[in-house]
Amino acid sequence: MTRGSAANRGEGPRRRPLRPRLQVAVLYGGGFLGPFGGSVVASVLPEIGADLSVGPAAAATSLTSYLLPFAACMLFSGTLGARWGRGRTVRIAYGVYAAASLLCVLAPTFVVFSAGRVLQGCANAFTTPLLMAALAAVTPRERLGRALGIFGACQAAGQASAPLVGGLAGEVTWRLAFVVLAVVAVGMGATGMPAATATGGEPARLRDALTARTLRIGGVALLGWGALGGLNFLVSFRADDVFTLNPTARGLVLTGFGVAGILTARRVGDVIDRLGAYRATLLGAVTGAALVCAVGAVPSVAVLSVAWFCAGVSAQFVLVGVNTAVLGSTEPGAAGAVSVVQALRFSGNAIAPLALTPVYAISPLAAFVIPAVLLVVLAPMLMPRR
């Protein structure tokens, strides 16, 4: 029986095989792992410190131990990954990430735990920018904002679920959270990437990514994520110090930020396709700064939770806005450019605990107000208008 006769009898076109569909889904699902791995410790910092015999300030450096090498490696990971092949690079990176997660599970001391976090950060740097560049390569430009909005929703899902999973694990042992990370990484690596996203043509060059425009957009990403998503540890501290919430309750409060992103990221992408990246990013910066100040000042845990939820919406305008600005450009080296922007974004997340934990010890309110002011003043100066 011929294909034509089958079609004439109403059987319709064949469904796409399962594996290619899963590989396309991995382009979105891969966005989950970075924020999840970076934030999974936020709600259980007191438990990690007590278990590994370190103080709260030292425990907070576990955020930086992941995010700083993650950000540093992403300055060049997109370019190198494009040279080596996206699929092969991503599979190897997921394998290393899984092994590093197991090292954290078994860590007997805080030094070994920190080493595992460093390896996690380095490995994840070789996934996120390559997945985003592959997504941009298979998406029509007029729908790029929506596609990146969905990717942002997946990242928000990682941001949202990490504190809750960490908090629930903390009721038994915080180490269970890293078992989850290892399992997710193995699943992502085994699925692979669509063959259609393979790179070709001229070898990728780092200088194509390090343009003035890319660095300006990256500066906005640094400010935006450092002053919004990067403050989840401060929200956790305040929930513990002021409202005496247990790990699960702290995790639920922090989860609101990511849930907001999950619910709104696609719509945010549609708005960005209409308004443009510049205006949408500034909208997120202004509203986000106001909400961060509210989170640091309100006397009610209910109001704090609502404000932190709304801050998650503002963060999506900033995040999807800067991603659309860089991936919507006609300049060469998309993987390298988005790698640089993401490196600076997560640098803000990594610097925030180091810079603001001492400020919080002196004045909790100032620790929220200072990054908010920097965001609202500097973002309009840095963000390119086109």
Band (330; pLDDT cuts 50, 70, 90): low
pLDDT at 56: 77
pLDDT at 301: 93
What amino acid occupies position 215?
Answer: L
From CA 78, how far away is CA 206, in angstroms rounded?
Answer: 9
Contacts of 306 (CB under 8 A, 6+ apart): 256
Higher pLDDT, 353 or 350: 353
Tokens standing for 106?
């078994």
What share of the chain has pLDDT > 70, as a percent?
A: 87
pLDDT at 323: 85
From CA 112, how far away is CA 108, in angstroms rounded?
Answer: 7
Band (3; pLDDT cuts 50, 70, 90): very low
Residue 163 has pLDDT above 90, yes or no: no
pLDDT at 371: 95
With beta carbons less than 8 A apart as the criterion, state whether 353 and 233 touch.
Answer: yes
Tokens standing for 340?
């640089």
140 to 111, 137, 144, 161: CA distances (angstroms)? 46, 8, 6, 30
pLDDT at 204: 54
pLDDT at 15: 52
Q: What average pLDDT does the structure give for the chain?
A: 83
pLDDT at 162: 79
pLDDT at 139: 75
Q: Could you read off the pLDDT of 298-312 as tens digits, one per residue?
A: 999 999 999 999 999
Residue 16 has pLDDT above 60, yes or no: no
pLDDT at 101: 94
Band (1; pLDDT cuts 50, 70, 90): very low
Of the candidate ranges 55-59, 189-193, 262-266, 344-348, the one whose mean pLDDT is the lowest: 189-193
pLDDT at 332: 59
Residue 269 has pLDDT above 90, yes or no: no
pLDDT at 4: 47
Q: Could you read off the pLDDT of 103-147 as tens digits, one per residue?
A: 999 999 999 999 999 999 999 888 888 888 777 777 777 777 778
Band (155; pLDDT cuts 50, 70, 90): confident
